[in-house]
Structure 1
Amino acid sequence: MKVFKIFGLFVSILVHISAVAQLHILVQQVPANTPLSASIYIAGNFNNWNPSDTTTIMTKIGSQYFKTLSITTNPIQFKFTRGSWQTVEGNQNGGYLPNRVHIWSPGDTLKLTILSWEDLGSTNSTAAHNVSILSNAFFMPPLNRSRRIWLYLPPNYATSTDSFPVLYMHDGQNLFDQSTSFAGEWQVDETLNSLYSSMGKSIIVVGIDNGGTQRINEYSPWVNSQYGGGQGDQYIDFIVQYLKPYIDSAYRTQKSRNSTGMMGSSMGGLITFYGGLRNQEVFSKLGIFSPSYWFSNQVWSYPASVGKKHPMRIYQLAGGLESNGSVAQQIAQMKQTLIAAGFAEQGIQNKVVPNGQHNEAFWRQEFGEAVLWLFADHYFMSSDEVSSGKQISIFPNPFKDTVFIQVKDQKNYEIMVTDLTGRVYYLARLSDQQLINGLDLSWLKSGAYVLHIKSIEWNISKVLIRN
């Protein structure tokens, strides 16, 4: 008890001495599996998101942790770590937790709980209710193997008669569930459910587990003398000749190539590239994340050998920190290779994220934007609608610099702009009069965001695209 009295006196003194630029953070509870010797750090927009900044190590007081930050950034965004992004805090299920956000006043004290650590995780499933296991042993005749298949259905699948586009994805273990993932999940279900909440639309996703020791063999049609490969044709044959026909017969899908896509990362990006170009009559949308173009030199001659047979939308993603920037260079080279082979430049979208690394956290962060670009004809077919009984006008969208928001009532609003994973980029309280001049978002990078508008009575979210 004496410890807590001293702590309370300590906080009171700090508040009175220097309240102007100080924020006090008290972690009242940490996960039971937190190592006893662990140090807890704070990484945020005030220290360049450094997960091992020794100036933010929290002081342990009994079973609690305390730190006073001297800051000028408002709002503050932050997360707790144990010294690296591999040991960042997670949600109640051990999965990805969006940034913490606080609009502070001088001398504020935040009393918080750390729910889990991503690396220590949880054995509980994090898959959303609309994710199911289609089969634990779906037979793959061309490979004479069986494989687990995951199925994501849109939130309104059971309550509508609509048919939906379909995205086939590799490495199914890592797409929906933290408990089955190798190093964190993509949160495909959470992202698509969020898009549905914002836009009223979604797609079907079919996730195919990788084959473990057979992964490299199945994810390349070409043989690498050191690593293997060579079964890529059989793997794509399985998807095209067996899995897709089954999905189309059992579920309400839009069966045409214009509504069918494929996506994967690393070696999964390589087989997406190969399979999509090989079967242009089946796929029109390819999400190629951090592709392993290094695996075979034959990748560079392949586009010309098949040529353009149908219009394609090809989204290539690379992180600036992947292989010292070589992946970014390779997707730039591949774009030019595809154009030389006859593919339209406007149908190829390359994105390089300077701090992106070769991991699920990076791919999770970029998944939503890629889906919106690939399936733009599905998500952006209609304009803004009446939501919660309020006529909202948001224009232009896509936008370049300024977004104008009109709401048919005279009130104050909390305006928040986040990315598709929940990371906050803008947060303010504004009145109708302040909104007349528009919201200047010219400083945002090109991409997909969510605009949240909240009043006392309602809360509306809309997807924004910045060109």
Structure 2
Amino acid sequence: MKGLNKFIISILILLSFNCKNETKNTVTKSKKSSKSVNVSIIDATFRIDSISSEPKKIWVYLPPDYYHTKKKYPVIYMHDGQNLFDSATSFIGEWEVDETLNKLFEVTGKGFIVVAPENGGEHRTAEYTPWTHEKYGGGKGDNYIKFLKNTLKPYIDSTYRTKPQQKHTGLIGSSLGGLISYYGGLKYPETFGKIGVLSPSFWYSKEIIPFTKKYAATNTLKMYFLLGDKEGMTDDFNNTINLLTAAGFPENNKKSKLVAGGEHNETFWKNEFLEVIKFLYDI
């Protein structure tokens, strides 16, 4: 019965994200925009031709003092851009990343740039999974990460005042976005240094085991793992983190949190986002 429940939850996770992004244009037309004035969509056109020929929208959050200073800022790359800043484009609520970081700036003076490509709707599974699944397909996640690393990041670093070094560059996502953030951090630690692995879909492939063993022994990453105990993925979550430690990842460079009552949704990630940022960036 335990295995059956896990299988059902896995299906629901995939279906909920794919369905909500395919239908968002019809569902959210009447919603009022809630994004802050310091959030915009990049005017340039980006595509990941190996995944889809459709243009990819890129959301950008700039710190409140960006245009009043010459400072440079850390950059956090996130996924599912349509769900992070604006209730008008999200399906079941936004993360309120902009409101959270604006408040953090008011209190601490710490500012960040957030760059968030929208997911590709029906291509989301392919984008955010580094390996294929016999039923759900996917497996083009490395192409997506290389797009962030080799195309988007150079554009961002040349267009905005950034701190481009690895130690200032974050990669944060949830669900399949948590999986691809984990993959991207371990595979390309020379680019990404601060990794937020929220509600990760580690169940997607058993390849997570040899991958973790191969890439775990690095001391250049800082990683935050988050899961709610109602998400149905606790065993895979704990097993992967334990394997990461056993394979040589420094214990002091990571934190894991299992939240009682936490569910697989934007409200949960919104409520925990500030703590993720504080840990990763030592605030």
* Range into which the TM-score falls when normalised by the shorter chain: 0.7 to 0.9
TM-score of the two chains, using structure 1 as the length reference: 0.53
- Aligned CA-pair RMSD: 1.7
**Corresponding letter in the other structure for 1:243:** L
Runs of 4+ more than 6 Å apart: none
Offset of residue 154 of structure 1: 0.3
What is the CA-CA distance between 1:144 and the residue it aligns to?
5.2
How many Å separate the matches in 2 of 1:284 and 1:130?
25
Task: Say whether the 8 Å CA contact 1:281–1:310 is kept in structure 2.
Answer: no
Corresponding residue for residue 123 of structure 1: 31
Separation of aligned partners in 1, 2:234 and 2:108: 31
Cross-structure match for 1:149 = 58
On the 8 A contact 1:222/1:298 being kept in 2, the answer is yes
Match of residue 272, structure 1, among 178, 181, 185: 181
Cα gap change, 1:167 to 1:120, in 2 (>3 Å): closer
Match of 1:28 in 2: none
Asked if structure 2 preserves the Cα contact closer than 8 Å seen for 1:135 and 1:150, the reply is no
The answer to whether the 8 Å contact 2:228/2:262 transfers is yes
Distance 2:57 2:208 in 1: 29
Give the C-alpha shift of residue 240 in structure 1: 0.4
Bigger proportion of residues as strand: 1
CA contact (8 A) 1:221 1:229 kept: yes
1:304 Cα deviation after fit: 1.3
**1:303–1:207 CA distance, 2 compared to 1 (3 A):** same
Does residue 1:296 correspond to 2:208, yes or no? Answer: no
Tell which structure's C-alpha radius of gyration is larger. Answer: 1
Aligned residue number for residue 192 of structure 1: 101
- Give the aligned partner of residue 157 of structure 2: 248
Give the Cα separation in 2 of the matches to 1:229 and 1:170: 16
Higher fraction of helix:
2
Which whole-Å CA distance do the structure 2 matches of 1:362 and 1:187 have between them?
Answer: 11
| Equivalent pair of 2:218/2:250 in contact (CA under 8 Å) | no
Partners of 1:229 and 1:260 in 2: how far apart? 26
Select 2:241's aligned residue among 335, 354, 357: 335
- Counterpart of 2:226 in structure 1 is 317
SS of the residue corresponding to residue 192 of structure 1 reads: helix
- Unaligned stretches of 5+ in structure 1? 1-118, 380-467
Q: Is the 8 A contact 2:77 2:172 kept in 1?
A: yes
- CA distance in 1 between counterparts of 2:160 and 2:204 reads 36
**Secondary structure of 1:178's match?**
coil
Kindly indicate whether the alpha-carbon contact (under 8 Å) linking 1:222 and 1:296 is maintained by their aligned counterparts in 2.
yes
Partner Cα separation in structure 1 for residue 179 and residue 257 of structure 2? 17
Residue 164 (structure 1) aligns with: 73
Q: 2:46 corresponds to which residue?
A: 138
Q: Contact 1:286 / 1:313 at 8 angstroms: preserved in 2?
A: yes
Please give the alpha-carbon distance, in whole angstroms, between the structure 1 residues aligned to 2:58 and 2:112.
17
CA deviation vs aligned residue, 1:308-341 (integer Å, no higher than 9, x gap):
2442111010001112xxx233222222111122
Q: CA deviation at 1:136?
A: 7.0
Are 1:347 and 2:253 an aligned pair? yes
Paired residue type of 2:271: Q
Matching of residue 360 in structure 1 with residue 247 in structure 2:
no
Question: How far did residue 141 of structure 1 move?
Answer: 4.6
> Are 1:371 and 2:277 counterparts?
yes
SS in 1 for 2:256: strand
Equivalent pair of 1:284/1:312 in contact (CA under 8 Å): yes
Q: Distance in 1 between matches of 2:150 and 2:219?
A: 20
Q: CA deviation at 1:134?
A: 0.9
Q: How far apart, in 1, do the equivalents of 2:119 and 2:108 lie?
A: 31
Query: What is the TM-score when the length of structure 2 is the normalising length?
Result: 0.87
Change (3 A) 1:194 1:120: same
Superposition deviation, residue 188 in structure 1 = 0.2
* Alpha-carbon separation, structure 2, partners of 1:137 and 1:270: 26
Give the whole-Å Cα distance in 1 for the aligned partners of 2:150 and 2:28. Answer: 40
Contact 2:78 2:171 (8 Å CA) reproduced: yes
Q: Aligned AA for 1:130?
A: N
Post-superposition Cα deviations, 1:321-364, rounded to whole Å, max 9, x if no partner, equal 112xxx23322222211112211011110011101000000000
- The match for 1:224 among 130, 133, 137 is 133
- State whether residues 311 and 343 of structure 1, in contact with CA within 8 Å, keep that contact through their aligned partners in structure 2: no
Gaps in structure 2 of 5+ consecutive residues = 1-26
Equivalences for 1:10-49 in 2 at 5 Å? none
Aligned to 1:383: none
Greater relative contact order (CA < 8 Å, ≥ 6 in sequence): 2
Measured in 1, the distance between the counterparts of 2:260 and 2:36 equals 31
State the one-letter code of the partner of 2:76.
L
Contact residue 28 and residue 89 of structure 2 kept, 8 A? no
Identical pairs, percent: 45
Cα pair 2:28 2:91 within 8 Å, conserved: no
